[in-house]
Amino acid sequence: MLLRAALCENRRPVPLITLPDGSQRSYERPVSVADIAASIGSGLARAALAGRVDGKLVDTSFLVDHDAAVAIVTDRDPAGLTVLRHSTAHLLAQAVKQLFPQAQVTIGPVIEDGFYYDFAFERPFTPEDLAAIEARMRELAKSDLTVKRRVLPRDEAVKFFDNLGEHYKAQIIAAIPANEPISLYGQGDWVDLCRGPHVPSTGKLRAFRLMKVAGAYWRGDSRNEMLQRIYGTAWPDQKQLDEYLHRLEEAERRDHRRIGRELDLFHMQEEAPGAVFWHPKGWQVFQTLIGYMRGKQQAAGFQEVNGPELMDRSLWEASGHWQQFGENMFTTRTPDERVYAIKPMNCPGHVQIFKQGIRSYHQMPVRLAEFGKVHRYEPSGALHGLMRVRAFTQDDAHIFCTPEQITAESVAVTQLILDVYRDFGFDEVAIKFSDRPPKRVGADEVWDQAEAALRQAAGAAGIEYTFNPGEGAFYGPKLEFVLRDAIGRDWQCGTLQVDLNMPERLGAHYIDEHSAKRTPVMLHRAIFGSLERFFGILLEHHAGRLPAWLSPTHAVVMSITDRQHSYVLRTVELLRNQGVLAQSDLRNEKVGFKIREHTLQRVPYLLVVGDKEVAANQISVRSRSGKDLGAMTPQTFVERLRIELESRGRRTMED
């Protein structure tokens, strides 16, 4: 009736709210996001954590006084989960201040799967402190305190926090641009500086857990004072929290560093931080990875090259790496005062190889690949086993092509990347499109061309992707290939980048059909990315049970008594002569002990030999899963294993 009356008066009520499904609702006066949710339904009103007004994330108390597109944000929305976690960080800070009034609060952002808050306090927090803090958080959540936002003038906000003794907050305000509002959020007797938005009340925070305490420098600068960082996680409900904690337990069980020790694959030590000491079995797997990729690249038309690891600073300045990446490069100065850098990337070296001799358009594309060892300085606190190192090997490749060849080459590379991941058991692959970063080289019009070319190539490849704004390489946009492992974690590995900048900066050219010099397009391509990191991902994905074709040992032949020793040795020799990675176990131990030990070592096949097997010229075959595959001749085992190896494990003896 109100709407009809308004139309009769040749006006309509304000505001007019457009919902995500396209429907519209009219209100006579300014209305809050919470009221809009309530007008849609009581269930939605209870579930509302925040809102989007014309695309901007806001509190449910936000007043809409104009025509707007409005969406109600619940915990089913990724943004809702972010709001929930940010609000739980505030709950943590409130609990700490109530229990430890002398502690000063600093910052508490959302991170992947959770949040943290940094505190300045006179002594380290203990596990008992964490338990008490979490208990107080639960009390505060149960109290269902209303969360209120207010805005203060800058000087008043600084004075407010100085009076509270929160000097870190006053410093933060001083760093906020002058034209930005200073917003505060309060719940109960506690107030924090924050941009927001936050949940409407603490009662929305139902499933959280404090995880650990670590050290952190104020503003991330080692020259500043050390703070204490409390990490936590928060989820919409207890079931999702329990599932997450189970994933953490499973991740701990699958930790590649633990598996590396148990299987004697590699180790790392303080004398070479961020570098790997490969043991024989680990190096065998590493070389299998290289051999596999070498075969795939050769079949795809890539030529393998190798560039110097140490090159003059002038080359890195010309490429742009020195300006963009110099603080992460290892350098040395010679007696004649020349400065050299250990390569952090292979790209400039490949350009130098391309530049040797005159290149014709008839020769394009030129595909160069290298298993290049690179070095990058990573802060010691960021190093993490094989996943974050300072010295690593890339399966790096660069395609020099004409503009007309970008699409076809990109489609071929995309298909190659996805084929490789399937061979390693990764069927879930997400793709992200990363465009120009704030810190980059090249003119905007060049970036426009590169981004358009990559979008066209992605469309031609028929792939779906999400946008990852501002995360491109400093020289060009890229597609990022993200793998999902067996326990649901995502790993960014492969990349495809379109580069119209570096070839020009380094003077690369080819002769086109009109006998004119043209600058080639350079496609950067990596599939494993870092072989070390990919190795670690594989160990965790397979929980150390690598498929037979990747395993450092395919089979162990073990005797039951001394009488079978010579037969075991002959069998091992036969297997090795046919390419099987076989070992013998002639120890004077019970066969059950041997089987258990090699099962723990994740050996794919356990071959047992007793008097009966010797007499029949057979071996008794068991898999590491415990399945008895029966007796067969050594040659039959080789033939069956060969089928499994050639199929990359898609067909096993157990099938």
Fold of 78-251: Threonyl-tRNA Synthetase; Chain A, domain 2 (3.30.980)
Give the number of other CB atoms < 10 A from CB of residue 432.
Answer: 17
Residue 150 Cα distances to 62, 87, 96, 262, 432, angstroms = 11, 16, 23, 56, 38
pLDDT of residue 11: 52
pLDDT band at residue 204, thresholds of 50, 70 and 90? very high
Average pLDDT on 64-93 reads 95
pLDDT tens digits, 231-285: 999 999 999 999 999 999 999 999 999 999 999 999 999 999 999 999 999 999 9
Active site residues: 347, 376, 394, 396, 398, 478, 524
Q: How far is CA 333 from CA 78, 275, 348, 375, in A?
A: 50, 22, 20, 17
Q: What is the pLDDT of residue 161?
A: 86
Most confident listed range (423-427, 488-492, 526-530): 526-530
Confidence class for position 5, pLDDT limits 50, 70, 90 = very low
What's the pLDDT at 13?
A: 53
Assess contact for 118 and 106: CB atoms under 8 A.
yes
Tell me the average pLDDT across 486-507: 91
Q: Is it the case that residue 51 has pLDDT exceeding 50?
A: yes
Give percent of the chain with pLDDT exceeding 90. 78
Is residue 474 predicted with pLDDT exceeding 90?
no
Tell me the backbone φ, ψ of residue 74, rounded to 5 degrees: -115, -175
At 450 the pLDDT is 85
What is the structure's pLDDT at 147?
95
pLDDT at residue 478 greater than cutoff 50 = yes
Between 174 and 203, the higher pLDDT residue: 203
What is the assigned CATH class of domain 555-646?
alpha beta
Residue 9 in this model has a pLDDT that exceeds 50: no
pLDDT at residue 2 is higher than 90: no
Question: Per-residue pLDDT for 537 more than 50?
Answer: yes
Say if residue 10's pLDDT is above 60: no
Of the pLDDT bands very low, low, confident and very high (cuts 50, 70, 90), residue 446 is: confident
Q: What is the pLDDT of residues 217-238, one digit of tens each?
A: 888 777 888 999 999 999 999 9
CA-based nearest residue to 637, from 580, 562, 577: 580
pLDDT class for 571, splitting at 50, 70, 90? very high
Of the candidates 462, 466, 350, the residue with the CA atom closest to the CA atom of residue 414: 462
pLDDT (0 to 100) of residue 445: 87
Give the CA radius of gyration of the chain.
31
Q: With 90 as the cut, is the pLDDT of residue 203 above it?
A: yes
The verdict on pTM exceeding 0.85 is no
Q: Determine the average pLDDT of the residues in 306-325.
A: 93
163 pLDDT exceeds 70?
A: yes
* Strands of the 555-559 sheet, one edge to the other: 582-585, 555-559, 605-609, 619-623, 628-632
Q: Is the pLDDT of residue 610 over 90?
A: yes
Report how far residue 379's alpha carbon sits from residue 27's, in angstroms, rounded to the nearest whole number.
Answer: 55
Is it true that 2-73 and 278-307+343-541 share their CATH fold?
no
Residue 7: which pLDDT band, with cuts at 50, 70 and 90? very low
Integer angstrom CA distances of residue 372 from 290, 310, 531? 11, 12, 10
Give the per-residue pLDDT at 6: 41
Region 452-472 average pLDDT: 87
pLDDT tier at 442, thresholds 50, 70, 90:
confident
Strand 303-304 with 366-375, pairing: parallel
pLDDT at 8 over 60: no
Q: How confident is the model at residue 454 (pLDDT cuts 50, 70, 90)?
A: confident
Q: Using one digit for the tens of pLDDT, what is the confidence trace for 374-390?
A: 999 998 888 999 999 99
Whether pLDDT at 4 is above 50? no
Domain boundaries, the chain: 2-73, 78-251, 278-307+343-541, 555-646
Mean confidence (pLDDT) of the chain: 92
Assigned CATH class of 2-73: alpha beta
278-307+343-541 is a CATH 1.10.10.10 domain: no
